[in-house]
Chain A
Amino acid sequence: MKTIVLGIGNLILGDDGVGVHVANEIKKHINLPNVTVDEAITGGMNLLDLILGYDKAIIIDAVKSENSENGEVKRILLSDFATIHSCNPHDVSLSEAIEMAKKLGEDRIPKDIVIIGIMMKQIPCEFGEKLSKKIAAAVPKAVEMTLNEIKNEV
Chain B
Amino acid sequence: MKTVTIDPITRLEGHGKISIFLNDKGNVENAYLQIPELRGFERFAQGRRAEDMPQITSRICGVCPVAHHFAATKALDRAFNVEPTSAAKKLRELMYMGYFIYDHTLHFYYLGGPDFVVGPDAPPGKRNVIGVIEKAGVEVGKEVIKHRAYGQKITAILGGKATHPVCGLPGGVSKGLNKDEVKDIKKMVDSCIDFAKFSLKLFDDIVLANKKYVDLILSDPYQLATYNMGLVDKNNKANFYDGLIRVTDQKGKEKAKFDVKDYNKYVEERVEEWTYIKFPYLKSVGWNGFTDGKESGIYRVGPLGRLNAAEGMATPMADKEYKRFYETLGGKSVNSTLAFHWARLIELLYATERAKELINDSEITSQKIRNPVGEPGEGIGVTEAARGTLIHHYKLTKNGLIDKANLIVATTNNSGAINMSICDAAKGVIRNGKIDDGILNLVEMAFRAYDPCFACATHTLPGGMPLEVDIYDHNKKLYKTLKQNL
Contacts and interface: CB of A to CB of B under 8 A. Distances in A.
A119 B460 CA distance: 10
Contacts of B460: 63-65, 83, 85
Given A91-B110, A96-B128, A96-B130, A123 B458 contact: yes
A89 B16 contact: yes
A117 B138 CA distance: 34
Given A12-B56, A127-B44, A88 B61 contact: yes
A138 B287 CA distance: 49
Given A12-B56, A41-B164, A92-B128, A125 B38 contact: yes
Given A62-B459, A88-B61, A100 B130 contact: yes
A41 B64 CA distance: 12
B148 A45 contact: yes
A117 B451 CA distance: 28
A45 B63 CA distance: 12
Given A16-B457, A49-B149, A42 B62 contact: yes
Interface in A39-87: 40-43, 45-46, 49, 61-65, 67-68, 76, 80-87
B14 interface: yes
Chain B's interface size range is 35 or more
B62 A10 contact: yes
A9 B60 CA distance: 11
A90 B486 contact: no
A122 B149 CA distance: 33
Interface in B448-462: 451-462
B485 interface: yes
Chain B interface mostly = loop
B63 A90 contact: yes
A81 B60 contact: no
Chain A interface mostly = loop
Nearest to A97: B129
A99 interface: yes
A146 interface: no
Contacts of A32: none
Interface in B274-303: none
A76 B456 contact: no
A20 to B, nearest CB: 11
A126 interface: yes
Nearest to B466: A83
B331 interface: no
A89 B461 contact: no
A44 to B, nearest CB: 8
Given A85-B13, A125-B39, A126-B39, A104 B141 contact: yes
A150 to B, nearest CB: 23
A87 B459 contact: yes
20 contacts: A12-B59, A42-B62, A45-B106, A49-B152, A61-B459, A62-B457, A82-B464, A83-B466, A83-B486, A86-B13, A87-B459, A89-B12, A91-B106, A99-B130, A100-B130, A104-B145, A123-B457, A125-B36, A126-B39, A127-B41
